Amino acid sequence: MISVTRPVLYSEAIRERWRRPRFRGELSGATAIAEDVNPLCGDRVRMQLTLDNGRVSAARFAGDSCAICTASADVVAELVQGRSRAEAVALGAADVLGVLQADVRPTRMRCVTLPISVLAKALS
Amino acid sequence: MMLDEQTRRDFPILARIVNGRPLVYLDSAASSQKPRSVIEAMARYYETSHANVHRSIHTLGEEATELYEIARDRVQRFIGAGAREEIVFTRGTTDAISIVAEAIGRTLRPGDEILVTDMEHHSNLVPWQVAVRDRGARIRSVPLVGEGILDLTAVDRLLSERTRVFAFAHVSNVLGTINPVAELVTRARRVGALTLVDGAQAVPHLPLDMSALGCDFYAFSAHKMLGPTGLGVLYGRRSVLESLEPARGGSEMIKEVWVDRATWNDLPWRLEPGTPPIAETVGLTAAIEYLEKLGMERVREHEHALAVHAVELLSAIPGVRVFGPRRERGAVVSFAVDGWHPHDVAAALDAEGIAVRAGHHCAQPLMRWCGVVGTSRASFSVYNSVEESALLAHAVAGLGAAP
């Protein structure tokens, strides 16, 4: 079958982090763990954090999710490291989208925000 | 002439261009598109005849009531029900199932069981979960075997004198599996259990005859069968409906009311509290007329051919896994693509104008059986063509290794 020239679906940053996430994995000795699902699609994200003196010293994510959600989780895990609890909770969708260099349609925004809400849950 | 060549121009929305490409709508199992005759019938009703039904002693009220009750007769004939009293209008399939689950739920005793299956839509699980709550009753489920068919030996093992209701789908909204309704009803009746069939994915696609199926309840939605949203049907065998104590009260469903008690109206109005979706029933009449003109046998053949064609094309693509029976199936085809999450598949196909559903399809227990978070699903209706299933396969083949 001839190959189709497709329009690029996602930003380079999303595609790169979907194919080669940097912060996916287990974190032994994690001190804050939370998990949640997106009821619309069943996607699942788990965030594991290590907190030292009120600062996030390490973060990893795991789960089963689409490219946007996986890329978002990867960015959240990256951005949160070194932040205080208050700074980490302040992380928002705009921060993640900035790193992903992407506009996301309203129907997919929950894919971006799921890892952020899981992070907030882990820190609460 | 292929069915789609005859029908396509009747559906105005199919002329849309999506992301620069002609729309290929393969999501009719979620909600079908509407022919012009349905849209116009509803507009005409609002422009000429609208009033509330049953209580209005004026011309418009009489016209609205007549149209509403004509819809009931049309549904009765369309599904082969024995009497018009057996047709109850609801807000949808979920609502129809809930009406039964709520009423029976109030009669459940400790030890009673509701039997469901592992392929049910959440709409045929959660109302039962609510019904058994706090009553000491429990839910049991028929497992699946092989390509995703019910384990019939387990059915006999799970059915017992404790089973109050056996609730199952006629056609799986994910696998396309067509369950042997009459056979399952016979087995349930042997132990004295009632049967409720979720027909949401069957009524739009198969010729139906309630007297042949023999079930006690059958639930479906108008919007999946070319009709409007917000309307469903609960079919119930008259003797069973008679014994169902209404769990919901309101206007329309009463004979006489005092401040602290009331007597119930006759069937079917007894189970229709409040002002019903009137314009929607007018739309449903038009949808049934449309389907009857095509002929449900022809509809079934057309959609089955499309589904089997899609299964063959998709399963020939390396890295693509198709779920459900290969040949004996309804008009849905679920698949997974290596390296791709189903939502990303749907987004990529949407970029080419192809609308498919992706996710858990409100069947999470079934997703666990399949071993996936979700699937991508193409589903077919009277307006879809062989070319469209080929376009789908072509687009899936061009996805590449990862987003």
Spatial distance between the Cα atoms of B11 and B383, rounded to a whole number of angstroms: 8
Candidates A4, A15, A74, A109: best to mutate against B (most CBs of B within 10 A) is A4
pTM of the model: 0.94
In a domain, A102, yes or no: yes
Assembly ipTM? 0.86
Structural domain boundaries enclosing A97: 23-123
CA distance B287 to chain A (A): 29
In a domain, A70, yes or no: yes
Task: Give the pLDDT confidence score for residue B252 in this predicted structure.
Answer: 87
CATH number where A46 lies: 3.90.1010.10
Spatial distance between the Cα atoms of B50 and B63, rounded to a whole number of angstroms: 8
In a domain, A32, yes or no: yes
**Chain B residue closest to A104 (CA)?**
B347
In a domain, A34, yes or no: yes
Q: Where are the domains of chain B?
A: 3-30+296-397, 39-292
- Fold classified for B39-292: Aspartate Aminotransferase; domain 2 (3.40.640)
Spatial distance between the Cα atoms of B316 and B397, rounded to a whole number of angstroms: 9
In a domain, A69, yes or no: yes
Which tens digits make up the pLDDT trace of B56-95?
A: 889 999 999 999 999 999 999 999 999 999 999 999 999 9
Which tens digits make up the pLDDT trace of B282-304?
A: 999 999 999 999 999 999 999 99
Cα-atom radius of gyration of chain B, to the nearest Å? 22
Task: Give the pLDDT confidence score for residue A86 in this predicted structure.
Answer: 94
- A18 touches B at CB < 8 Å: yes
Q: B3-30+296-397: CATH homologous superfamily?
A: Aspartate Aminotransferase, domain 1 (3.90.1150.10)
- A24 touches B at CB < 8 Å: no
Q: Helix axis angle, A67-80 relative to A12-19, nearest 10°?
A: 90
Which among B165, B193, B362, B392 is annotated as catalytic? B362
Task: Give the pLDDT confidence score for residue B54 in this predicted structure.
Answer: 87
List per-block mean pLDDT (blocks of 10 residues) for chain B, which spans 403 residues.
95 96 97 98 98 90 96 98 98 98 97 98 98 96 97 97 98 98 98 98 98 98 98 98 93 92 95 96 98 98 97 97 94 96 95 95 95 95 97 95 87
Which tens digits make up the pLDDT trace of A83-92?
A: 999 999 999 9
Task: Give the pLDDT confidence score for residue A6 in this predicted structure.
Answer: 58
Task: Give the pLDDT confidence score for residue B190 in this predicted structure.
Answer: 97
In a domain, A16, yes or no: no
- A15 touches B at CB < 8 Å: yes
Task: Give the pLDDT confidence score for residue A2 in this predicted structure.
Answer: 47
Tell me the residue type at B281: T
- A67 touches B at CB < 8 Å: yes
8-state DSSP, A13:
H
In a domain, A6, yes or no: no
Spatial distance between the Cα atoms of A92 and A79, rounded to a whole number of angstroms: 11
Looking at the structure of chain A, the number of domains it has is: 1
Is pLDDT at A3 greater than 70 in this prediction?
Answer: no
Which tens digits make up the pLDDT trace of A7-53?
A: 678 999 999 999 999 999 999 999 999 999 988 888 899 999 999 99
Strands B375-379 and B332-337: antiparallel
SS3 label, residue B264: strand
